Amino acid sequence: MNLQKQFVQSVRLYFKERGEEWLQSLPNLIQYCEEKWSIQMREPFSLSVNYVAPATMLDGKEVVVKICIPENGFLDELEALQLFQKKMVKLIDYDKENGIIILETLSPGYTLAEIADDEEACQIAANVIKELVVPVPIKTRIPTLKAREEELKKIVEKHSNGIGPISGHTLQKALKMFTYMNQTIRQQLLLHGDFHHYNVLASGEGEWKAIDPKGLIGEIEYDLIQYMLNKLPEKRVYEVTERRVEIFTNELNLDKERILLWGYCHTVLATAWTVDGESYNKGFFQMINVFEKLYATIFDTMSN
């Protein structure tokens, strides 16, 4: 089977041996899907660590098949999709054991990254996230922001002198801030958990829908940060971020201070995740400074 090179590499990097086994089993899983749902699967989309492909049902209806390694991440995503039903892409069917979900096809299906005007894209993103309001279920497997804090704590313990381009001092500071932020959350909500341009798709005339929820429980301000790490311009990153923060704060009636503080914490964690030997995500890394500077400019000045 001819698989995308980058996809194979990423699966091996993230899932190690389990990933290798899963890659080997993909032809069988595809055949299983085709038989179980009487569908014909076509060439996959551009892939990261899941196998996602368009398919046609017997009656000609188009669907999207997503095949994942049936571990925690998949189970969280499935539960988040179920909880968000009616508010995002429709879940048609699933097979928990084999890590498969069948989704409605969003058409035309291009992503929010196609919108050239950054302010327009940000307004659309704000409108999409505005819809994603669901109370937190009493019993759920979806992790809270405390789990993200724990992830950062593990990184700090393992890399006390810093990781990649991030200094030990910055790691410590971000962890302290993460703890403070978690202790002072006012309203816990079900979050998308991976909200960004490439997970918002055009669906019909002027309509947009979110896909691919990772599922997370916490404060809405946190959910906006991953968006702000994506599709950054070459220049004027500070100004563009300032404007994005402004739009989200106003459109969603949020706490600007907490957006910037979560911005700092999450960006340190998100950058640390990308460190692989000498390489890391430079776009994410520069944003640590941007959030810090924005906070200092707006809030430290006010307290003087």
Provide the minimum distance between the beta carbon of 25 and Mg ion in the complex, in angstroms, as a whole number.
22
DSSP codes, 3-58: --HHHHHHHHHHHHHHHHHHHHHHHHHHHHHHHHTTEEE----S-SSSEEEEEEET
Q: Which is nearer to Mg ion, 111 or 249 (CB)?
A: 111
273 is a contact residue toward ligand ATP (CB under 6 A): no
Partners of 102 in the β-ladder: 65, 93
Residues that bind Mg ion (CB under 5 A): 199, 212
Which of 50, 170, 249, 267 binds ligand ATP (CB under 6 A)? It is 50
CA 160 to chain centre: 27
Which stretches within the chain are classed as H helix?
5-36, 72-83, 118-131, 145-158, 168-183, 220-223, 225-228, 237-252, 256-274, 282-295, 301-303
Task: State the binding partner of 249 from ligand ATP, Mg ion, none, CB within 5 to 8 A by kind.
Answer: none
124 is a contact residue toward ligand ATP (CB under 6 A): no
Stretch that binds ligand ATP, among 15-23, 103-111, 126-134, 164-172 (CB under 6 A): 103-111
Closest CA to 46 of 4, 74, 106: 4
Per-residue contact track with ligand ATP, 225 to 254, x per CB under 6 A? ------------------------------
Q: Which is nearer to Mg ion, 76 or 212 (CB)?
A: 212
Which of 23, 89, 152, 190 binds ligand ATP (CB under 6 A)? It is 89
4 is a contact residue toward ligand ATP (CB under 6 A): no
45 is a contact residue toward ligand ATP (CB under 6 A): yes
48 is a contact residue toward ligand ATP (CB under 6 A): yes
198 is a contact residue toward ligand ATP (CB under 6 A): yes
Task: State the binding partner of 4 from Mg ion, ligand ATP, none, CB within 5 to 8 A by kind.
Answer: none
How deeply is 99 buried, as exposed, middle or buried, from its count of CB atoms within 10 A (0-12, 13-18, 19+)? buried
Closest CA to 31 of 93, 92, 100: 100
Rounded to the nearest 10°, the torsion over CA 139, 145, 99, 53 is 130
210 is a contact residue toward ligand ATP (CB under 6 A): no
The Cα 144–Cα 272 span in angstroms is 19
Contact set with ligand ATP (CB under 6 A): 45, 48-50, 52, 64, 66, 89, 103-106, 109, 198-199, 201, 211-212
